[in-house]
Structure 1
Amino acid sequence: MELVVYLAGQIHDNWRDEIREKASKLGLPITFVGPMENHDRSDHIGEEILGPQPNKMLVDDAASDLNNLRTEVLLSKADVVIACFGEKYKQWNTAMDASAAISKNKPLILIRPESLIHPLKEIANKASVVCETADQAVKALSYIFETE
């Protein structure tokens, strides 16, 4: 059995690499998918595909359309979603993806630091598993494959 795991969260640091590396070291049969991790490409994909836009709002709108298409397709195909919230960046996209996972009845592993317990209480209440580290999230995935 192989799982597809959608990694939802900000794209400004390497938390995804940490999860991919830990899962690889454990030999877990997982394909990881997620948002475009190249921030510049994500911001400009609308104009790249649809052509020049007349103003910044429409540049963002065109990019959003394509990023939302990508998210919808990949999240829908995922067996599990990991949503990682950190303290440094705004997390609107992460909250949106976590909510989409919940509405699609996708198992959700929520990673959030202790400082975000209160602001994420509703999402945490709907998640399958809530943890504080990438290591704990990977161990949760690993447990799926255990036979004894």
Structure 2
Amino acid sequence: MRLTVYLAGEIHSSWREEVKQKAAMLKLPIDFVGPMEDHDRSDNIGEEILGKQPDAIFKDAAASSFNNLRTEILLKKADVVIALFGDKYKQWNTAMDASAAVASGKPLILIRSEANHHALKELSRKASATVESVDQAVNALYYIFE
């Protein structure tokens, strides 16, 4: 059995690579997908596809359409979603992806620090599992294959 895991969360740190490396070390049969990690490409995809937009609001709206399309397709194909809420960046997209996973019945592994316990308490209760580290999330994936 192979699983597809959607990695939701901020795109500014290397946490996804850490998950992928640790899963590979354990020889887990997993394919990873996630949001566009190239921030400039994500911001500019609407204009790349539709052409120059009249202002920043239209540019964002166009980009959002294509980013949402990509996310919706990849989330639907995923067997499991891991959503990391870090301490450094705003996490609106992570919250949206995690909520979409819950709403669509996808198993969700929520990674959040103890410091974010209160802010994420409702979402944490909806998740299939809540952990505090990448290591714990990978161990949860490992447990699926035991």
TM range (shorter): over 0.9
Alignment of 1:11 with 2:8, yes or no, is no
Within a 5 Å distance, the mapping from 1:32-71 to structure 2 comes to: 32-71=32-71
Kindly provide the amino acid, as one letter, of the partner of residue 132 in structure 1: E
Q: Gaps (5+ residues) in structure 1? A: none
Q: What CA distance in whole angstroms lies between the structure 1 residues aligned with 2:65 and 2:92? A: 16
Within a 5 Å distance, the mapping from 1:28-107 to structure 2 comes to: 28-107=28-107
Which residue of structure 2 lines up, in the alignment, with residue 119 of structure 1?
A: 119
Runs (4 or more) in structure 1 with deviation over 4 Å come to: none
Shift of 1:74: 0.2
- The alignment partner of 1:28 has SS state of coil
TM-score, normalised with respect to structure 2? 0.99
Kindly provide the amino acid, as one letter, of the partner of residue 88 in structure 2: K
Q: Deviations over 1:47-100 (max 9, x none)?
A: 001110010001110000000000000000000000000010000000000000
Alignment of 1:108 with 2:82, yes or no, is no
Kindly provide the amino acid, as one letter, of the partner of residue 124 in structure 2: A
Q: Deviations over 1:73-132 (max 9, x none)?
A: 000000000000001000000000000000000000000011100000000000011000
Kindly provide the amino acid, as one letter, of the partner of residue 16 in structure 2: R
Shift of 1:138: 0.3
Within a 5 Å distance, the mapping from 1:132-143 to structure 2 comes to: 132-143=132-143
Q: What CA distance in whole angstroms lies between the structure 2 residues aligned with 1:49 and 1:13? A: 27
Shift of 1:145: 0.4
TM-score, normalised with respect to structure 1? 0.98
Kindly provide the amino acid, as one letter, of the partner of residue 121 in structure 1: K
- The alignment partner of 1:109 has SS state of strand
RMSD (CA atoms): 0.4
Aligned residues: 146
